[in-house]
């Protein structure tokens, strides 16, 4: 098993190219199930979750060919409709195949998903919506058994809470359904927007893209022709490297990035003292000499993302003053706190609120990654901690970051991937 060894660095300098967004790539790969043609997807990140989903599609009979940062996916050869536990257990996003397979074939079996242990993320919203569209669903022996004997039919779906994967799943199912499907309280994340934009450009009329109400006009079972496209930049990867610049008080330039997707992150970094030079595809962070404390509440897009909470918590340990971070989306997403405390951070927890007394001196030690974003927080802390920090169980990190240690090494960090 691999781990990362990190030594304190005085400063970083240079450019970091941002990879394609993992959270956009996964629904876009699943979307190929509703395509009648071979689809060429460009700007894919090299992360474990992408490989897992492509393996899942291959097991279902699809043709997948990965070359550099692009993949060709042809689901016209799809013959199986059962997504088995041995693959789905490692990645929650596997649930994204449920909607498109059911819409295309009228039946499917999908194992209940796994993924990061950051709290309850039930799929009941997905299932309830599909039932409203005419599906009959049972859960037996850890599998979701779904049939749509008369096909899926458009209807109005009101999500009780915003769900990104739920919105994506139902958009794909609605694409092949008969009639019009209206999704109320839809997720507005850029990753959902790109999915809708590509389907819309492929002949599936979708109204309200980027808003909380989507109207999808189904094709009544007719597969769609999807042209070649590129995945949007990863806003969470970009935010992580901006935090690396801020915590080390370094000037870094991110390339191949979309600043419009990072509004809340940039705003909070500005509150903490950083300034920016922004062009159409680059962001340069100019850090301040003093990191200011911050108050953050995680919410759905376009508010501050839960996927950046851990990184900002690590940054707040170096602020001059007390920061407050409230986690409103996932109840177990402070598991990195105990590891940062091992490094000397002064953090107290009260339910879903973390209070960080900044300005503490961190010391390198052995720490354990507990989920994907927690992993990156420990790496950020390691960049400013005295001594050596060893981050173990980085298979979490590899699920979502493309060559993190190589990108950091290229701008001056002392980070090595080693074997246990």
Catalytic residues: 116
Half-sphere CA count of 235, side-chain side, radius 13 A? 22
313/306 Cα distance (integer angstroms): 11
373/3 Cα distance (integer angstroms): 16
Q: Which residues contact 209 (CB under 8 A, 6 or more apart)?
A: 193, 196, 197, 200
Give the dihedral of Cα atoms 335, 341, 345, 346; nearest 10 deg. 90
Burial grade of 75 (CB within 10 A; 0-12, 13-18, 19 or more): buried
Contact 145, 109 (CB under 8 A): yes
Q: What is the DSSP letter of 301?
A: T
Of 184, 172, 174, 173, the residue nearest 213 (C-alpha): 184
87/48 Cα distance (integer angstroms): 12
Three-state DSSP class for residue 61:
coil
Three-state SS annotation for 315-363: HHCCCCCEEEEECCCCCCCCCHHHHHHHCCCEEEEECCEEEEECCCCCE
Q: Residue 164: which H helix or E strand, with range? A: helix 164-176
Measure CA 225 to chain center.
26
């Amino acid at each position: 098993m691999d781990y990362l060894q990190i030594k304190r660095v005085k400063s970083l300098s240079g450019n970091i190219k941002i990879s394609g967004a993992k959270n956009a790539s996964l629904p876009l790969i699943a979307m190929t199930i509703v395509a009648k043609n071979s689809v060429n997807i460009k700007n894919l990140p090299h992360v474990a979750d992408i490989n897992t989903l492509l393996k899942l599609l291959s097991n279902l009979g699809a043709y997948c060919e990965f070359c550099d940062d692009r993949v060709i996916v042809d689901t016209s050869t799809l013959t199986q409709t059962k997504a088995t536990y041995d693959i789905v257990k490692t990645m929650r996003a596997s649930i994204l195949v449920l909607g498109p397979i059911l819409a295309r074939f009228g039946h499917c079996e999908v194992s209940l998903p796994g993924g990061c242990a950051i709290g309850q993320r039930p799929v009941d919203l997905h299932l309830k919506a599909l039932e409203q569209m005419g599906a009959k669903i049972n859960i037996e022996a850890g599998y979701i058994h779904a049939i749509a004997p008369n096909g899926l039919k458009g209807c109005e779906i009101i999500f009780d809470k915003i769900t990104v994967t739920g919105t994506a799943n139902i958009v794909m199912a609605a694409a092949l359904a008969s009639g019009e499907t209206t999704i109320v309280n839809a997720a507005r994340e850029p990753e959902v927007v790109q999915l809708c934009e590509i389907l819309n450009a492929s002949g599936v009329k979708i109204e309200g893209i980027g808003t909380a109400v989507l109207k999808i006009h189904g094709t009544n079972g007719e597969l769609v022709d999807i042209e070649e496209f590129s995945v949007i930049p990863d806003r969470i990867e970009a935010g992580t490297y901006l935090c690396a610049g801020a915590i080390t008080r370094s000037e870094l330039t991110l390339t191949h990035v979309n600043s419009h997707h990072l509004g809340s992150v940039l705003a909070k970094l500005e509150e903490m003292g950083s300034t920016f030079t922004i062009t159409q595809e680059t962001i340069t962070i100019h850090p301040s000499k003093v990191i200011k404390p911050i108050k953050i509440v995680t919410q759905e897009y376009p508010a501050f993302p839960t996927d950046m909470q851990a990184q900002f918590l690590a940054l707040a340990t170096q602020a001059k003053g007390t920061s407050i971070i409230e986690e409103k989306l996932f109840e177990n997403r402070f598991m990195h706190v105990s590891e940062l405390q091992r490094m000397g951070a002064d953090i107290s927890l009260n339910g879903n609120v973390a209070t960080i007394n900044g300005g503490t001196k961190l010391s390198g030690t052995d720490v354990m990654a507990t989920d994907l974003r927690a992993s990156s927080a420990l790496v950020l802390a390691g960049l400013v901690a005295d001594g050596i920090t060893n981050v173990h169980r980085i298979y979490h990190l590899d699920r979502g970051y493309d060559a993190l240690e190589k990108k950091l090494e290229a701008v001056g960090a002392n980070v090595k991937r080693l074997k246990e």
